[in-house]
Amino acid sequence: MFTGIVAAVGTVANIKLHDGEGSFRFATGDLSLQGVQTGDSIAVNGCCLTVTELHGDGFSADVSRETVDCTTLGARQAGDRVNFERALAAGDALGGHLVTGHIDGVGEVTDLRADGDSVRLTIEAPGTLARYIAAKGSVCVDGTSLTVNSVDGDRFAMMIIPHTQNQTIIGDYAPGTRVNIEVDIIARYLERFMQYTEQEA
C-alpha cells in the first residue's frame, strides 16, 4: 500500500525484456533504501514492483507481461526519469490517499496551461475509467496523488503546484505523454457494493 506522495525521482538504468517480460534496473537517486530488503515493494510511476536485487545506487525488479502491456513501463527506455515511493509502513503519515500500486489504465496528457505559478494539467482517461473520476476526488497519476479539479467527459483536470512540478516527473509532461492512472479504490468498492445491492433488491 502507498500514499501517492512521491519520495524521489530517479532513472531507468537498464531494461532486459524478452517476449514481453523480464526485468528493470533502476537508479533511485535520493530515495533512501535503508532497511529495504529483497521482496519489499516499491512503486515506480505508480506500479507496485517487488525488489529482486539491491545495488549500491538502486534496485532491480522483475516485470510480467501483464505489467508491460497494461502500464507505461513497457514504453520506458534507459535514462527515462521515473517516480519512486516506498511502501507505506505502520505509523507513516498518510499525506495523499490510499494507493494500491495496481494500475487501472493508461491515460494521455491533452493540455498543460500555466495558471499563475501552477500548471493546469488535463488528462484523457480510458472510457472504462472515467466514471470513477470525480471533481474534488483523488486520482493517482504516475504514482502521484492528485486532487481532481474538474471533469469533462473522459477528461479531467488538476492544478499542479510548483513543488509537485519540481519533485515529480510531472514537470517533464507534454501533450501526448502517456501516464499510468489508478483511480480511488473507494470508488471501485462502492461500485461493487452497488452491484450487489441491486441484485438483492
Say what the pLDDT of residue 53 is: 98
Q: Which fold has domain 8-86?
A: Elongation Factor Tu (Ef-tu); domain 3 (2.40.30)
Distance CA 139, CA 145 (A): 6
pTM of the predicted protein model: 0.93
On average, the pLDDT of the chain sits at: 94
Q: Is residue 199 pLDDT above 80, yes or no?
A: no
Compute the radius of gyration of the chain from its Cα atoms.
17
Q: Which residues of 57-68 are buried (b: 16+ CB within 10 A; e: fewer)?
A: ebbbbebeeebb
Terminal CA-CA length for the chain: 34
Cell of 178: 502517456
- The answer to whether the beta carbons of residues 121 and 157 sit under 8 Å apart is yes
Residues carrying CATH 2.40.30.20, the chain: 8-86, 105-192
Q: What is the CATH number of domain 105-192?
A: 2.40.30.20
pLDDT band at 57 (very low <50, low <70, confident <90, very high): very high
HSE, side-chain direction, 13 A CA sphere, residue 24: 32
* Total count of residues recorded for the chain: 201
Within the chain, strands assigned E span 8-18, 21-27, 41-44, 47-55, 58-63, 81-86, 105-115, 118-124, 138-141, 144-147, 150-152, 155-160, 178-183
pLDDT band at 200 (very low <50, low <70, confident <90, very high): low
Say what the pLDDT of residue 186 is: 83
